[in-house]
Structure formats: structure tokens, C-alpha cells
Amino acid sequence: MGSAKLVALVLLLQPSLVSANPMRITGGQECNRDTHPWLVLLTTKSGAMCGATLLNQDWVLTAAHCYAREPIHLKFGIHNDHLPSEHEQVRDAVSTFCYPDSPSNTTNSCADFTLDRGHDIMLIKLNAPVTYNEHIAPLPLPDHAAPLGTECNIIGWGETELTVGSHVPLCTTINTMDNHFCQDVSTVTITDNMICAGVLEGGPDACKGDSGGPLLCGGQLQGLVSFGSYPCGEPMVPGVYTKIFNYREWIQSHML
């Protein structure tokens, strides 16, 4: 994850599954170019580090453990991150807010984030509004929580196998499940502010490098990639996602 804060993935799972690496999609296929206008790539001078979601022209949502002490740059409207695109727009992060920071906070709590306190969520204010087009558009907040057993999609620029990355977004399908499946393999308390999702047989999963990316259920932004196992896609080890529905009021209070 380059310079992104990696505390989120340390000491979370049983020792054989612990990873200090960011999450990336595994077991996926290249997404259709026209299906992700809200997808954002976070970068620093160290390189690509996280995924994120565009909420409106001024605000982006990602995971708190994606916070970086160096300047964060955000790329919109891209598909292949190694090819220039006439649709691409780049913005800088001018402010970051981590729960429960208020809009008037002068102290940024993101730098002190640890996953054992929960609330792996960060809002980023852009230095200038993005311009919407066919390749850049927002994704609305969910109007309900995803029920257990819901089929969902995860997406990100990610590894298809260990240490082998993809320059295009990969998509794969997983299912939400009872939180006890994640609690059974985690040393962190799995709360109602988290979603447990994956495939118990193993395979499709979020993995190294795509922390903060979206969990889409029924076309709604239900979660953010938070933490999971490494190697990725292990049987009986689903991933953990931040539950966006529980943070709607906090998010909206900043975007007013």
C-alpha cells in the first residue's frame, strides 16, 4: 500500500493469516469500462495505495487506514492506470476526516487510527470539484442495510495472484454472511459497524492493495474494504468491510 497506514491489517487474524499488506481483489475478472464511473484511485508519491468512491463533486469515501502523512492524490475516470486517458481528472486531498471527527474539527484523528477502535472510514475533501462526464459520476449512499446472504460485488486494481498486480480494475462476486464467520478467525471484535462477506469455499476475495474500495450490493455502496486474510481467498476466512449504512448521518453532516 505504499505509504498508506497499514496498521489495519496487523494482528487481526490468526497468526498464519496475518498480513501487513493492503487489500486487493483476487479471483476476479476485468470490469467493463463503463461500469465504474464512481471508482477512484488514491495515490501518493510512493505509488497507488487504495481504492475509494466518489460521493459528489467535492467528496470521496475510503477506509481510515488509507490515511497517509504525505500528500494524497486522487485519480478519477481511469480504467488502465498505466495508460493516459482523455477522461482522467486528478485532484488533491485538502482535508481528511475520520469518525467521529466533526466538520468543525481542527484536530485530525486519522493519523491515530487503529483498527481495534473500529470505524475504518475516512472522508476526503477535494481541493477542487470534479467535472462529471460519462466516465466520472457519483455513487449514492445506501438507503438500507444489506441483508445477510446478499450477493455483492467488489472492485479494484488488484492482484490475481501473489505479488502479481493488474493495471485494470478487477470485479468479483461475494456474499454477505453472519459476522460470527469473521469473528471466528479475527482477534479484533467484529461489530455491527462491520460487514462480513466472502465465499466460504474460498476463492473470490479482496486482497493486497485495494483497501478502501467499494462493496456494492444491489447497486448500492454498502461497504468499504477493511481487512482480511493473507494469502487471500482462503476457505472459511471471509473479509471484513466497513458498514456504510451506519455512518450515513456522519457522512452527510460533512457534505452539507
Give me the active site residues, please.
Answer: 65, 120, 211
Question: Distance (Å, rounded) from C-alpha 166 to C-alpha 203?
Answer: 17
Name which of 72, 64, 68, 108 is nearest 91 in CA terms: 72
